[in-house]
Structures are given as C-alpha cells and as structure tokens.
Amino acid sequence: LPQGYRPNVGVCLINSDDQIFVASRLNVPGAWQMPQGGIEDGEEPKSAAIRELREETGIVSAEIIAEVRTKPFLFCI
C-alpha cells in the first residue's frame, strides 16, 4: 500500500429490491460513496465490513451474500 494508507474494506449494500446503497459525502459536495473504512489491527476483513456498515449506516443486522477479495476487500451485504 502507498505510504499513509492502511488495508480497508468496502461494502456494497443491496436491498430486497436489488437497489444499491450510496450516500452523499458531507464534506465533498456532489460526491457519493458506499460504506467503507480501514481494517483495525488484528481485525478480520469480514468483521471490519460489518463494523463499518454499522458505524456508517446504523444497520446492525445483515447477511453477507458475496465476498470479493481485492485490494481493498469488498463485501456484498
């Protein structure tokens, strides 16, 4: 990873109507993103994805339906 970056995860959140969640960024007008964030030391990527989803959306229960291991990790929930 480039200096100053750490491993991270991203979440593609899909509802029962096959709609994909994206949110507008408060600090970058006109920018949109999916839930994402850094993996804590000793944390498993899957746990980091669930934590980031909870922290950024308030969703506390979700089913992981796919896992894509790239750099960064991506989980479809």
Strand partners, 32: 24
Strand partners, 12: 76
- Give pLDDT, residue 21: 95
Tens of pLDDT, residue by residue over 16-75, are 999 999 999 989 999 999 999 999 999 999 999 999 999 999 999 999 998 887 766 666
The structure's pTM equals 0.81
The DSSP 8-state label assigned to residue 14 in this structure reads B
Identity at 8, one-letter amino acid code: N
Mean pLDDT, residues 9-18 taken together? 94
- Give pLDDT, residue 55: 96
Tens of pLDDT, residue by residue over 30-46, are 999 999 999 999 999 99
- Fold adopted by 8-76: Nucleoside Triphosphate Pyrophosphohydrolase (3.90.79)
